[in-house]
Amino acid sequence: MSPEAGTAVLKLVLTPALIGTASLAGRRWGPSVSGWLVGLPLTSGPVALFLALNHGTAFAATAASGTMAGTISQVAFSVAYAWLAFRGGRVLAVSAGCLAFALSTAALRHLALPALPLFLAVVLALILGLFLMPGAGQRAPGPAGPPPRWDLPARMGLATAWVLLLTGVAPALGPRLTGLLSPFPLFAVILAGFAHHQEGPAAAARVLRGLLLGLFSFAGFFLVLAMAIEPAGIAPAFAAAIALTLALQGVALWVLRR
């Protein structure tokens, strides 16, 4: 299978699988866990692998640095959505979140930092985002009844369509902008939007709080790739990135469950 075909298969298989798993986990263990799950680089990680195979490790390292920086834009989205969710409807909250992501991405295009200082900036942004999130102590009412049958297929189909669209245009933008755009919180938009519709704004805020906790491991994954993929090679860099991601995600889950 060619790298291009492999990337297409990953988009078509992993995207609906991830959004479906996160949705079911949210129904079983609550919205926060669904947000925590989509913080994993289960889509962007494989795409980074095929970027390295297609365009070389230098391209992949630059894209990984951009993706790590894009975590800050996810923080901006989450805080903007959560605050507007308590003051307006889903459309206003999603619009504000996407605008915050776009403004942050535009600003980050001009931020050129080495990988480690950039990672520290991302960690500080995540901590600040968690501090600023509203509704941490609020409890949303449960849904009035079981979700309709079309609910899960609609989530999976919408997520897959958007991933195909966004990743289809991203390579033409170059490694830096491709990296910055790749963390667009598509899964968070879907999961928070459905939670907002079914259970209220506090449930959407819990999805996004779980996402922010999961993004520590996301940033760690791309820190390792940005620093190690050129000197160490593709396989060792990805092995180290996965190991760090699983460790950080375990800590995040422990914090989330407490």
Q: What is the pLDDT of residues 40-99, one digit of tens each?
A: 787 677 778 877 877 888 988 988 998 899 899 999 999 998 888 888 777 888 888 899
Q: Where are the domains of the chain?
A: 3-137+148-257
Distances (CA, A) of 224 to 41, 45, 76, 230, 243: 13, 12, 23, 11, 10
Pick the residue with more confidence: 136 or 124?
Answer: 124
Dump strand ranges (E) for 40-91. none
Q: How far apart are CA 11 and CA 127, in angstroms?
A: 30
Most confident of 64-68, 111-115, 141-145, 172-176: 64-68
Burial class, 27, CB count within 10 angstroms (exposed 0-12 / middle 13-18 / buried 19+): middle
Structure confidence at residue 110 (pLDDT): 80
The average confidence (pLDDT) of the chain is 79
Q: Using CB atoms within 10 Å of the CB of residue 154, give its burial: 0 to 12 exposed, 13 to 18 middle, 19+ buried.
A: middle
- Provide Rg for the chain, Cα atoms: 17
Amino acid 150 reads W
Would you state the pLDDT for residue 147? 60
Quote the CA–CA distance of 160 and 78 in Å, as a whole number.
21
Instruction: Please report which confidence band the pLDDT of residue 127 belongs to, taking 50, 70 and 90 as the band edges.
Output: very high
